[in-house]
Amino acid sequence: MSTPALELKGIDKRFGAVHANRAIDLSVGKGSIHGIVGENGAGKSTLMSIVYGFYEADAGEIRVDGAPVRIRSSRDAIAAGIGMVHQHFMLVEPLSVLENVMLGAEGGAMLAGGATAMRAELGRLGADYGLAIDPDAIVGELPVGLQQRVEILKALARGARILILDEPTAVLTPAEADQLFDMLRSLRDEGKTVLLITHKLREIMDVTDRVSVMRRGAMVAHLETARTSREEIAAAMVGRPVLLKVEKGPARPGAAALEANDLVLRDSRGVARLDRVSLTLRAGEIVGVAGVSGNGQSELLLALAGVVHPQSGRIMLNGQDVTRASPAALRKAGVAHVPEDRHHMGLVLPFEENESAILGYQDDPRYGGLGPLIDRDAIRADARAKIEAYDIQPPDCLLKTANFSGGNQQKIVLAREMERTPKVLLVGQPTRGVDIGAIEFIHKRLIAMRDAGAAILLVSVELDEIMALSDRILVMCGGRVTGERAAADTSAQELGLLMAGVTEKAA
């Protein structure tokens, strides 16, 4: 057996009463892709943050290439040959690719020499690993997949032999994810070691050589990917068998609850983000909206939720014109909205969990109204009930929202919107960054809401999720609806053609 690229022995970490990592042992072979999976709050990100120097372990040892190292900062990690690509990119958007890669590695006071050397290094890395990119491109103008490529290049340019990727596909389209995995295989074949943190079992099965499973802060399994199954991994993550497919009966659609007619929405440059979009959403059904990111799904969700107003067209709610209605007015009329981006629109991260749990509903009489009369006890009691119902971890409504894992933050938003029994639910990316057990729970809740008579519009970049949950599927491309299909009568291939802009007739 060759010396492992990375070894962790007895890694232990506490944050007050929370025991985040419990005597973790891990061995990662050189030139391999090693998956780390576990439920939200299982301790995966904490463990990788220790490896990368954001935290220092309370106990235990880290070895790189067989030698013990003390990692107290990211600088120590980089010196040890460890790089990390975070789920939320650490890039300066107004700067170029070259300038972003150089930050922290400028090569001395005279930047010209450092820039020349780094430009040559970017060319070499691009050729060796299929990571070619224009070094003079402005990062903020690049698509998400290329921004992630810049993050990988930053790590490799600093000499990383071990590369940690935290939920790397959470913001990627399926095609971008496939490109990323091709890059990771190239890195592995050139002798680099990759640690992949992900919730997506399909990705684990497709790209990893081994997978380690964490549950409630402990490492509970180390498996060879080729000799395991999605079902075995899921059961190890959750501690029980997990249903990996959605069980639902046929929909019984009722009256039209929400209608959009010929919606046109142009951005500040005059580009049509919605181009004469029409749809009907009925009580008791789930309508999925499929499409590659950036083709109008996000704008449709925002327009129907009242966050933005179309330049033309009409939106009708139970026969009433709500085209210019505010989000607050729509909430009072029974429309709930789970935004696609929980950080920018769904939560206020410095707020306590109980405060984030009432955003948009803070003037509800049950909370005592606004101002000094607000009933903190009622808010906290309501938050605790939602925490229990949705298994939000840690179960502390006084904890800052920022201190919850991404999946538990998502559950805070879902509980806030879904527990009010809305007539219409507009939901964007409901399981983004959510673990397998929570995905099963969320899917069951959505089906239960549908069966209770709610009208649900579902936007998701996960085509499998769209096909599993939806009764009808609308496909968008270039701001237009390019086709509509009954979920039971279509295939991923047919939807893919429509997503690519192939005409209805040809598809």
Higher pLDDT, 497 or 208: 208
Q: Is residue 248 part of a domain?
A: no
- Per-residue model confidence (pLDDT) at position 506: 52
- Per-residue model confidence (pLDDT) at position 244: 67
CA distance 315 to 279: 10
Same domain, residue pair 211 and 308 = no
Q: Is residue 249 part of a domain?
A: no
- Per-residue model confidence (pLDDT) at position 232: 92
Q: Which residue has the tokens 């410095």?
A: 350
Domain encompassing residue 408: 343-421
Question: Which of 421, 447, 468 is the C-terminal boundary of a domain?
Answer: 421
Q: Is residue 244 part of a domain?
A: no
pTM of the predicted model, to two decimals?
0.69
Residue 417 has pLDDT above 90, yes or no: yes
Reading the block at residue 71, the tokens are 């990692």
118 touches 176 (CB < 8 A): no
Mean pLDDT of the chain, nearest integer: 89
Same domain, residue pair 464 and 393 = no
CA distance 290 to 86: 27
Higher pLDDT, 504 or 80: 80
Same domain, residue pair 355 and 452 = no
Residue 88 has pLDDT above 80, yes or no: no
Same domain, residue pair 430 and 416 = no
Q: Is residue 245 part of a domain?
A: no
pLDDT digits (tens, 9 = 90+) for 158-204: 889 999 998 887 667 666 788 889 889 999 998 999 999 987 888 89
User: What 3-state DSSP class applies to 85?
Assistant: strand
Question: Which of 392, 421, 450 is the C-terminal boundary of a domain?
Answer: 421
- CATH code assigned at 27: 3.40.50.300
Nearest to 140 by CA among 95, 100, 93, 89: 93
Question: Which of 401, 421, 441 is the C-terminal boundary of a domain?
Answer: 421
Q: Is residue 95 part of a domain?
A: yes
Q: Is residue 40 part of a domain?
A: yes
pLDDT digits (tens, 9 = 90+) for 14-70: 988 889 999 999 999 999 999 999 877 788 889 999 999 999 999 999 999 999 999
Same domain, residue pair 351 and 473 = no
Same domain, residue pair 271 and 368 = no
Q: Is residue 243 part of a domain?
A: no
Largest CA distance in the chain: 71
- Per-residue model confidence (pLDDT) at position 385: 96
Confidence of residue 110 (pLDDT cuts 50, 70, 90): very low
Average of pLDDT values for 477-490? 91
423 touches 454 (CB < 8 A): yes
Contacts of 325 (CB under 8 A, 6+ apart): 306, 315, 317, 333
Same domain, residue pair 83 and 230 = yes
Quote the number of domains for the chain: 3
Which helix (DSSP H) or strand (DSSP E) does residue 448 occupy?
helix 436-451
